[in-house]
Amino acid sequence: MEAVSEQIHMPLIGEDAPSFTAVTTQGTINFPDDYKGKWVILFSHPADFTPVCTTEFMTFASMQEDFRKMNTELIGLSIDSIFSHIAWLKRIEEKIQYNGMKNVEVKFPVIADLKMDVAKKYGMVQPKASTTQAVRAVFIIDPEAKIRAILYYPLSTGRNMQEIKRLVIALQKNETEKVATPANWQPGDDVIIPPPNTMEGVKERLGKEEEGKCCLDWFICLKKDTQK
């Protein structure tokens, strides 16, 4: 009789982020209770002491204060032991120089997930890629512990951390200002005003000019970003 493979559910955008308690390089964390009121970037990497992961961790660590200014915390994860994590992070700090970065101390928690408890909750293990390593998953989670964005990269390709930062800024802007961001948007660029959803709203928009607002048609209006 053919064995039934384990079904791993990946949480979706808008769903509650799965809760967990985990041992990390910064002590035990309880998620989401320890992160109430904060945005969180939860990301996985395939393995310690690997080249692509090393460049990613150095880059994330160098940006940690920038993220904290945005009320955003970082949490890393791989299917490695706590001792492997510590040894790798110490090696990064003491020896590795990359892209102008050196003596980089990784201060954000890195989850030791040897039993894949957290990785499976978040669908970070992709059996067709590897049954023993997590892919490069990124979950952006809001202060209400709702998943707001999901990014997945293969084992071979490093992530663009500036894009992740841009995405957090855009999500926060949507939350506080109720605007959307157009293609290739960068902080400071024009933002999109939500379109009207009634005929009366369409008439009002077309018949009203406002300084700093540009309408290409009734359904697409942009305005200057006042919070750069």
Binding residues for substrate: 136
Measure the CA dihedral 77/80/85/86, to 10°.
140
Contact 142, 58 (CB under 8 A): no
Backbone angles phi, psi at 133, to 5 degrees: -125, 145
Cα 48 to chain center, whole Å?
A: 20
214 as an active site residue: the answer is: no
* Annotated active-site residue in 53, 214, 215, 221: 53
* Crossing angle for the helix pair 51-62 and 82-95, to the nearest 10 degrees: 70
In whole angstroms, what is the distance from residue 130 CA to residue 146 CA?
A: 28
Question: Which residues are marked as active site?
Answer: 53
